[in-house]
Structures are given as structure tokens and as C-alpha cells.
Structure 1
């Protein structure tokens, strides 16, 4: 039997089995009430834009709550994705974190990352600059991660998943918190956060500093400062308004030792945003929200190269701005039918003369219409249907549909079947890159320009179709929850960088990949102990395309197995302890952005002591990262000793005081 027939047979078997067992339950008089299915299960907001129990959501979702964030001992928000099945986290540099859910690559990310509904991927490169996000882990309340295409709800970059970061409400922790962190590698972090009330406003203000020297052999240090302001006000019984603004800026080390055209230097970087959201809630079943945000990125680099034996000054400038307005309406149409619908308009403005080959500012517009409905005809069945229509100036109009049927076999036990499609429009650099370097000649004049990157100028969107069957079960008496997802991804028209000779690269589409896998997550929480497990198995069935080595590169771009586990316990006398274990199989990020990485296991330990400090409270925490010793991370070329990312043992300590 062929591979495609096996996949169809699995889905067909699932449908037949569901129908047969359902008939058996009804024949036995096992009519179940709606209340049987709505026990204490997580409610998620990010999958369909509707508040739903995780068992009713149309896609697999992982929720990382505040307790898990603290227990992990991580410094970077991105590292929390090690606890999500199928997600890869790597460091292209000490100040450049890579997060992927398939197709691991340093640029042109295929994940949509949101902070309180605001997209944070960069307009030019399509990546998320995690260390430059204007917030800290102390500001994060929870993270909802959708493991699968979600363009039906959030558009083109929700290609293989969504990470939605939800910040803490000002009313959650009134008062002031001061936190100081030090350790390896020459790490110095400081944070002050205050939340309170002024007039009719609930507000919080966070300000912080981050500093370290990165990997030992790399020029990848960071020295940045940030501020984040959030305010919320209830205007009357139905209307409320939320305001946010943030900024982070400073210096990042970039470039490679020994590379005369990409020499070590400082990047002066800044990013910021302002966001306003008005919400009108007539009733829990009738809500209208309007959101507008503006964001910007600024990057400046300059260095002198002697590649042509005479000095040539190279300047790299990248400025981008984004304007986005969105309207969303949520309604309950009947006791069994809920819907959410709306639309958004976005404009990106990018000025990058060196990368685009023009001093003009490029403007890229985007318009979207979306809708999603949840129908529950009987308590045992939930149906979800949604779609997004999106027009992008670079790739035209695309439609991304999704449907899912969830059968609640027994109370707290569900089986979900679903199909979703998504697209990823090319970034401006993939589409229009014209990166040339002009070097001075000895004696005067210049050499002909050296073409480094050239865009496709005709790329259409990447496309993915995902079919899945999943089981979700909870055992309230045991405080145990299990989620198992079997899926098949058919990805077409993948855009890859292709070497065209002489050290030059172009972007070409038309490459393809089919993969299957199993993702499993388990959580157990009883009294003072909690355990989180995440495992994934991925098998590449076929790959290829017009780009040279496309089959080889796509076959090995992702770890075959990933594993993450976090065990935390609260001991008497104010002592907390947690152990994390994280494993990735060997892999090679595709394109020219990474090297072969051997399989590794990382073990972390966190021990903390809580104590009283007058009228306030304090905590002293000690974190040991990677206790087993150094491992190679993302970029590690054995022939180039100065281009190796070796993650060593690290020790961090944090003192936190709150009043």
C-alpha cells in the first residue's frame, strides 16, 4: 500500500471507529450531558480567537503557565519552547535565538509570534529577534502555543504554528519588584517592575537592563535596555480601553572573526511599539474589539574591510515600520453556535539600501478577512470551521481554510480529526533582495559590484496542508492530562537559498517536503509537585525541488526526536527546586545558516529560597544550566575554530525583592 493510501486509511479508520463507538454508547443509553465535558481543563484563547476548553480547540495547543515559567529557570522567553512538543530552540549566536516547528532556519521564520495580539516578526527578514523583545519573563503571565498551521485565524506567518505571549495584568500583582541576576557569561541583568492604580487606570511599568558576552569564540555580546508600560481602564459597564507601549535599544555584537566581508562589529539596534485596544462587551456572548498598533525596528552597522587590499567602508542600514488596525466581533448565534469574524489592514515600510539595492522605501500592504464558527449540536460533538482570505502586495490573494471535528468519547476524553491549510508569503528580502558589495581599487576607483544575494522577484506563497488525528484525555482524580497528536504535513513551494557560483546566492521556490510525526505532551500537578513532559517523533517521507541539494537539506533540517521534561517541587521552609532535561537529535539547519549539530542532552537545575523581608518578600535563586558540559549549538564548523557555538556549563543567580 502506498504512503498516501496509508495516511488516508488511518484517517478513514478513525472516522469509522468514532461513528461505531458513538452508536454503541447511544444504544446503551449512555446519553451524556454537556456538563460532563466541561470540567477543569485549560481554556485557550489563541487557536480560533474564541475562548475554548483545550479539548474543543481545532488544533493542538500547549499552555505554559506562570508557575512553569518560574520553575524553568530560563533567562530567554524562547527557551520555554523546549517544553513544547516538536519545537526546536537553537542559538545562531549568543544574541540570536532560533525557534522553529519544522524547517529550522536562521531567517524567514514560519511561526507567527504574538504579544497580546501584536505580531512581532520583522517585516524585512520575517524572523523574530527574541532578545530584542521589549519585555522580560517577569512580565509574562502565560504562553499559548498552537502546534500546527493556524493561518485561518492569524494569517500567512502562522505557517507551522503560533506562539501567543500574554502579559500580566496590572491588577495581578500590585507593588514593586526589583530583580538582579548575575553569572556566566559575564551576565548582568536588572529589572524593576511596579504595578498600581492611578485615577481610573490600572497600570504597570517595567524597566530593565540586559548584558552578557555571548559565546566564547564569537562576537555576539549584547548590552540593551528596555521599558514596557501597560495601562487599562474600564470606561463604563460595557466599554474598556487598554494601552501599551514599549522600547528596547542598545548594542549587539555581530559578524565573524576571519571573514573580511562580514567582520566583527557592533550593531546599534532599537525596537519599539505603541498599541491601543478598545473593547465593548455587551454580554459574554456579544463583544466587539478594535485594535491598532505601530511598531518599528532600527539597525545600524558599519565596518572597514581590507578585502581588496585597500580600505572600504561598508554601511548597513535597515529601518522598518508597521501600521496595523484590526476589528474583531464575537457573537453567540444560538445556544449551540458561536462565531468570531473580522478583518485587518496592515502596511509595512522598509528602508534597507544595501539589502534591497535602492534608497527608496519599499511599501508592502496586506488586507485580511477572517471568520470562525464553533458548532456543538450535541454535547458529544464539537465542530470548528474557519478561514482567512488574505491579500499581500508581493504574492497576491490566498485563502487558508481549516475544519476540525471533536468527539467527546467519554467525560474528559476526546478524539479530534482535522485538516488545515496555510500559506507563507515571501519576505521582502526573499522577493526583492539585491545585496551587492562594491570594494575600492588600489590606486582609485572601484571593482565591479559583487552580488551576494538576489531575490526571486516572482515567488508565490509557500503552502502547507496538515491532516491530523489527536487524543486528549484528563484524569482529574490523578491530576493528569495527556495529549497525543498524529499528523502529516505536505509542504509545497518552499523558498530556499541556492548557491549560484562565486559566493553568490539566490532565492528559488518550487521545493517540497512531506513529513509525518507524533507529538505527545503530559502534565501532572498535585499539591506541591508538578511534572511536564513533551516528546516528538518526526519522519521525513519525501523531499526535493529545483534547488541544488534541496532533498538532502530538507531531509535533515529537523531533529528526528525531541524531548523536554520539567519536574518541580515546593519543599517546606520556603525552598523550591526543579530539574529540566532537554534532548535534540542530530540535525543540520537548511540553507547557509547553520552546520551539522550532533545530538545532545541538556540538564538544568534550579534551587530557590523564599524569605520574608520586613513587609515584603524576597527570593534567592541559583540556576545551573547544562550541567553535563558543553554541547554544539546551531553553528559549529570544525574547520573554523572562531565560528563555533559551544554552549558551556553556566551558573546564574537571581535576587528578587517585592513590596
Structure 2
């Protein structure tokens, strides 16, 4: 294929790194200008997701990225999933899913051969929203608004030891704001090309009780109906997907200080409304309605030794109701039952203790029960009983020991023991050492193992194959990865550096497209992924900040059963965010994203007469300008956001997945 010159090509990247290294050496020469260790640690972010212990990011046993409230605001994103373009190594594709849920794909080093990215764990306030049916997460179905998020913690790498089997490639933990921080009235109004939204929130308190109620209405028309730059004149490849959405959300959170040492948190939420799915000449839905809700209770007690005991219980329902029809007028079967009802109950107990000045321990366990009913997806599509409700049960024990052998040397050792009724019992360990070899500079070495449990869809497909074709076929089992991670975190005056080398050896990968495989075994995939990634955060001035991310990954695989793992990760992905505060009123930000050429598998016939194709390198610029003001006791901000400033036409994931061109919208926020 013809290579095009990229705005974030290798030479500019190397130039930027050289400038950074020059800045580094100059700063190291001026040792007296370095902040003290105490000053540095006071400014180091504290993370919770890496090991279940509250620890500085420099002492976390896995690479971490934090997206805080200011980054969320300045990014100007419309969809929550768009945020993760600012994470090194993350692949994000706009509205790429074509069936069940027309939604975005978010994957970290995802070996992407399908759109439901199911090799990464997604948590919201410690509650997993990993979908039982296909895995992954349906981002539009989360009862969550951006303005209620405090921060997002992302672990870049396998983390089954901390959050279980499906934390195969990483974990995204979305942490919402404490209700005591959202008192008063809040209103947000957004309007622009193909999208409108209203968010209203009220927060209050009564003694030791604080609470908030948030409601939103969103109308999202998604992609344009016709492709602007189709790759062929064949009708199917000139049309985008059906992806209109009308989203209604309602969420409530209450925090109660029951005693000086006890705190109770209660949450509930609802997300529902009209959804489109499918594409021309394919199975689509008629009048699909989403109907999702959850309830969560979390109790915490502070212990005398500085530790904590907590109990969390939650229940969630992921459901949608639809009739499925084939849009091909020459082949229109009777409507099928496209309903999906998935229900989860989860109970977790966790205990943190501090047995000595140099040791901290966190341990606990949980039980989970999932039921999934999907007459077409699990029954008819696999020639199985359409009335069956599928059961998944999970129990697990986990623990992590943090030991400070010396002031500059920290060890983390942990493991997760899990048992489920799909694949039995497995254990996933991790061993990590963090060495603060110089003030404000840390090296990390980590070795870990992780697994991914087959989804209900995987299990049903294999059961159908064994029932109708060959009873001797091996049952589907867990995927495995063995990971080696070498990291460096450093601070040079106004520049923060996060650099990571990784080697991930994958085995027993499940063939996602579920077509007959030559080996007769769904777990036929193997791949070796090696590379590096870096994140630079530079406070250029007191009012200007630059964040730059670069990930480089190479995949080696035999591509068993014609699944193209070899090129299923972009060799290079880059992103940047430049923000500037002009005055007390005016601010602006500029975001740039580039994703290198990537090779995915096509389900069916396709452009250029091949079922294998490359999506070429694509890039995008976004911008935001905000004006903050105050009228009496009301604080406000009016912001103009422009996505795809250059009006570029490009494809993400597939050649019929063309994001909208230049899109602009206005957002008004008022806090009273």
C-alpha cells in the first residue's frame, strides 16, 4: 500500500523526544533546581486500581494513566469512550459495532479481530460493567454522565491478580464524584451537528448525609447515512450503519457518615431509550429499546491500625427488547426475537491491614451470579433451546502484600484464585519491584499472568457446534497471557515522563468470529506482542500544559485459522493534548490523534474482493474554546467544541465505518 506522510510521523516524534531529553539532561545538571522528595510525593497522584491499595502512582505494580476532571473538560469529548484516545496504546473506534449494540470499540493492545472488545475489564466505582453476553462494555448504556466523573484510572497491562479473569489486557476504573462535592444545582445544555443533550443535577446534604440526583436526555444521530468517500460503488459499501440513539439516564448517589469510623455509600441508576443497530443487507432491529439499571451498596469501616474493612453488594440488569429482521428484500425471514436480558448479583468483602511500618496487606473474596437470556443470539443462532437462561457462577479469593524492604525499594506480590462453572479453577499471580534509584526517579519490573474467561456467547457457540457437528470437539477454555513489564517514571522540573517496555505472550486465544475453524478448537490463537509506550506531561508555563502519548507495538503470530493477529494492533498510535489558560475567563485546548495502519478481519465479502484488508493510517484534530463567567451566585461556562477540525474523511475498523466529518457543538454549563 502507498505510505502517506503523517503529521505525527516518526521523525517529528524523535525530534520531540530529543527536545525532551535535552530538557532532561539540563534539568539533571541543575540538581539544585529539583524539588525535594517530600515535595514530589506531595504532588504524585494516588491510585486505587493497580493493587486495591491506595498508593502513589510511582509505587503502583503496573503502568497507570489517570484522566482527571480537567482533562475530561478540556478534551471536549461527546462520548465517554472518546476519552481513551488520550491513553498510550489505546485503540478507539467510533461506533464500530454493527450488531446487538451499535457502539464504540475501546481496546488496549486489543488483538482486534472483532468489534466487541472483550479483553479488558471496565469498572464504575468498583462495579464491573463487563457484559455477560459478548463481553466488553456497551458505552452508551452506562447510566453515567461525564460531569459526574471525578477521574478515570487505567491500568495499562494485564491485571487479573487484582480485578479478576477479564482484566486480560488492562482495567478502566471510572470513579464518580463524592456526593458532598456536588452540592447545589447544575445544568448543562449541548446542541450541534446531529447531537443534543440536557443534563440536570441537584445535590444537597442533611447532617452526615449528602446526596445527588442527576438526569439527562441525549439525542445522537451518529454517523452520516451515506459514506462520503466509499471504497467501491457496491451499494452495501456506500452506506454507514444504523446507529441513531435516544438515551435517557437517571442516577442517584447518597453518602452517609454513620459514625466516626463507618461510611455507607448507596447508588442506583437507569439508562434506556431507543437504539438502532445493523446495516443494509444485514440483520437489523425494529424498534429496539434499551432498559438498563443497577443498585449498589458499599460499607466501609476505618480500622485502628490505619487499615479498612469494606463490603460491597450490587445488582445490575443489562436488557434490550427488539425484533430482528433481514434488510435484504430478496431474503426477508419472519422477525426473530432479539431480546436480551442479562442480570448480575455480586458480593465482595475486602480487608486492608497494616501489620508493620513496612508492610501493608489487602485481601478478600467475592461471589457472583450472572444469568443471560437471549433467544436469538444464544439459542436460534446456535441451533439450541431458545427458552434457555444461561447461568454463570464465579467465586474468588485475592490478596496482595506490599513490603518496603528499604526506603528506596518496594515489593508487591499478589495472586487471584478464581473458580467458575465454565472453565473451573485458575490462579493468576504477579511479582513486582519498584526501585526509587534517584530522587523523583523510579524503575519498575513486573512479571504477571492473566486469563480471560469465555463469554456466554462463546460457550453457546461451542455447545452448538458439539451438538450439531462433532460431539468430540474440545470445549472452549480460558485465554492466557504471560506479561513482562519494565517501567520508568521520572520528574524533571516541569516534565513528567512515563516510559514502559512490554512483552506479552498470548495463548489459547478464542477465535472471535465463531466460524468453523480448521483445528476444530476455538482456542487456537497465539500471539507475541512486544513494544514500548511513553507519556510525557510538560507544564510549559504556569498556564500552558502539553500531554503527548506514543505507543509502538509489534505482533508476531502464526495467524492460525486465518485470524490475522499479526497486524491487528496499529504499529504506532499517537495522541496529544495542548491546553492554555489565556485569562481568568478564556481557555482553549487542541487535541491530535493518529492511529497507524491496522489489519482486521472482515465478516463476509468486502471491498476489493477480499475478506482481509488494511485500514490505512488516519488522523484527526479536535479543538475547544471555553469562556467562564459569573452572574451573581451562578458560575457558568460557554464552550465551543469542534471535532475533526480538518474535515478529514477516514475509516475506523471497517470500510463502512466512517466517522462524521467536521462536527461542532455549543455547551453551556451553569452551577447555582
TM-score by length of 2: 0.85
1:171 aligns to what SS in structure 2?
helix
Alpha-carbon distance between aligned partners in 2 of 1:523 and 1:589, rounded to the nearest angstrom: 32
| Matching residue within 300, 307, 324 for 1:279 | 300
Instruction: For 1:15-414, list aligned pairs within 5 A.
Output: 38-91=41-94, 92=96, 95-102=102-109, 103-104=111-112, 105-107=114-116, 109-184=118-193, 186-217=194-225, 218-259=241-282, 262-263=283-284, 265-283=286-304, 285-305=306-326, 312-357=334-379, 358=385, 359-414=387-442
Instruction: Report the alpha carbon displacement of residue 504 of structure 1 after superposing the two structures with TM.
Output: 13
Asked if structure 2 preserves the Cα contact closer than 8 Å seen for 1:341 and 1:371, the reply is yes
Indicate the residue corresponding to 1:580 in structure 2: 591
- Aligned: 1:464 with 2:481: yes
Q: Which stretch shifts more, 456-465 or 340-349?
A: 456-465
Q: Which stretch shifts more, 646-655 or 503-512?
A: 503-512
Alpha-carbon distance between aligned partners in 1 of 2:192 and 2:37, rounded to the nearest angstrom: 52
Instruction: For 1:539-550, list aligned pairs within 5 A.
Output: 539-540=554-555, 542-544=556-558, 546-547=560-561, 549-550=562-563
Instruction: Report the alpha carbon displacement of residue 629 of structure 1 after superposing the two structures with TM.
Output: 1.8
Asked if structure 2 preserves the Cα contact closer than 8 Å seen for 1:101 and 1:161, the reply is yes
| Matching residue within 618, 622, 633 for 1:615 | 633
Alpha-carbon distance between aligned partners in 2 of 1:633 and 1:507, rounded to the nearest angstrom: 32
Write the deviation string for residues 570-600 of structure 1: whole angstroms up to 9, x where unpaired. 1125011000011100113347399632111
Instruction: Report the alpha carbon displacement of residue 308 of structure 1 after superposing the two structures with TM.
Output: 6.8
Write the deviation string for residues 189-246 of structure 1: whole angstroms up to 9, x where unpaired. 1100111113531111110011121111231100010011000001111111000000
Asked if structure 2 preserves the Cα contact closer than 8 Å seen for 1:327 and 1:343, the reply is yes
Instruction: Report the alpha carbon displacement of residue 499 of structure 1 after superposing the two structures with TM.
Output: 6.7
Distance 1:631 1:420, change over 3 A: farther
Asked if structure 1 preserves the Cα contact closer than 8 Å seen for 2:652 and 2:659, the reply is no
Alpha-carbon distance between aligned partners in 2 of 1:592 and 1:158, rounded to the nearest angstrom: 27
Write the deviation string for residues 596-642 of structure 1: whole angstroms up to 9, x where unpaired. 321111100100111112320111100010112233333543xxxxx
2:259 aligns to what SS in structure 1?
coil
Instruction: Report the alpha carbon displacement of residue 263 of structure 1 after superposing the two structures with TM.
Output: 3.5
Asked if structure 1 preserves the Cα contact closer than 8 Å seen for 2:474 and 2:520, the reply is no
Indicate the residue corresponding to 1:15 in structure 2: none
Alpha-carbon distance between aligned partners in 1 of 2:474 and 2:377, rounded to the nearest angstrom: 14
The structure where strand makes up a greater share of residues is: 1
Q: Which stretch shifts more, 131-140 or 279-288?
A: 279-288
Alpha-carbon distance between aligned partners in 2 of 1:149 and 1:644, rounded to the nearest angstrom: 29
Alpha-carbon distance between aligned partners in 2 of 1:289 and 1:544, rounded to the nearest angstrom: 46
Distance 1:652 1:504, change over 3 A: farther
Indicate the residue corresponding to 1:509 in structure 2: 523
Asked if structure 2 preserves the Cα contact closer than 8 Å seen for 1:513 and 1:543, the reply is yes
Distance 1:506 1:113, change over 3 A: farther
Write the deviation string for residues 73-118 of structure 1: whole angstroms up to 9, x where unpaired. 0011111111111001002059401100121231251110100000
Asked if structure 1 preserves the Cα contact closer than 8 Å seen for 2:286 and 2:325, the reply is no
Indicate the residue corresponding to 1:487 in structure 2: 502
- Structure 1's unaligned 5+ residue stretches are 1-32, 437-450, 638-642
Alpha-carbon distance between aligned partners in 1 of 2:333 and 2:576, rounded to the nearest angstrom: 52
Alpha-carbon distance between aligned partners in 2 of 1:588 and 1:265, rounded to the nearest angstrom: 32
Asked if structure 2 preserves the Cα contact closer than 8 Å seen for 1:566 and 1:579, the reply is yes
Alpha-carbon distance between aligned partners in 1 of 2:191 and 2:39, rounded to the nearest angstrom: 49
Instruction: Report the alpha carbon displacement of residue 646 of structure 1 after superposing the two structures with TM.
Output: 3.6
Indicate the residue corresponding to 1:473 in structure 2: 490
Alpha-carbon distance between aligned partners in 1 of 2:218 and 2:598, rounded to the nearest angstrom: 31
Aligned residues: 597
Instruction: Report the alpha carbon displacement of residue 35 of structure 1 after superposing the two structures with TM.
Output: 5.1
Alpha-carbon distance between aligned partners in 2 of 1:292 and 1:421, rounded to the nearest angstrom: 28
Alpha-carbon distance between aligned partners in 2 of 1:36 and 1:190, rounded to the nearest angstrom: 42
Instruction: Report the alpha carbon displacement of residue 532 of structure 1 after superposing the two structures with TM.
Output: 1.3
Instruction: Report the alpha carbon displacement of residue 529 of structure 1 after superposing the two structures with TM.
Output: 2.0
Write the deviation string for residues 157-200 of structure 1: whole angstroms up to 9, x where unpaired. 1001000000011122321110011111x211110011111353
Indicate the residue corresponding to 2:31 in structure 1: none
Instruction: Report the alpha carbon displacement of residue 644 of structure 1 after superposing the two structures with TM.
Output: 4.0
Asked if structure 2 preserves the Cα contact closer than 8 Å seen for 1:39 and 1:412, the reply is no
Distance 1:590 1:411, change over 3 A: farther
Instruction: Report the alpha carbon displacement of residue 135 of structure 1 after superposing the two structures with TM.
Output: 0.7
Asked if structure 2 preserves the Cα contact closer than 8 Å seen for 1:497 and 1:592, the reply is no
Indicate the residue corresponding to 1:426 in structure 2: 454
Alpha-carbon distance between aligned partners in 2 of 1:272 and 1:498, rounded to the nearest angstrom: 29
Instruction: Report the alpha carbon displacement of residue 381 of structure 1 after superposing the two structures with TM.
Output: 0.3
2:284 aligns to what SS in structure 1?
coil
Asked if structure 2 preserves the Cα contact closer than 8 Å seen for 1:633 and 1:647, the reply is no
Alpha-carbon distance between aligned partners in 1 of 2:507 and 2:614, rounded to the nearest angstrom: 24
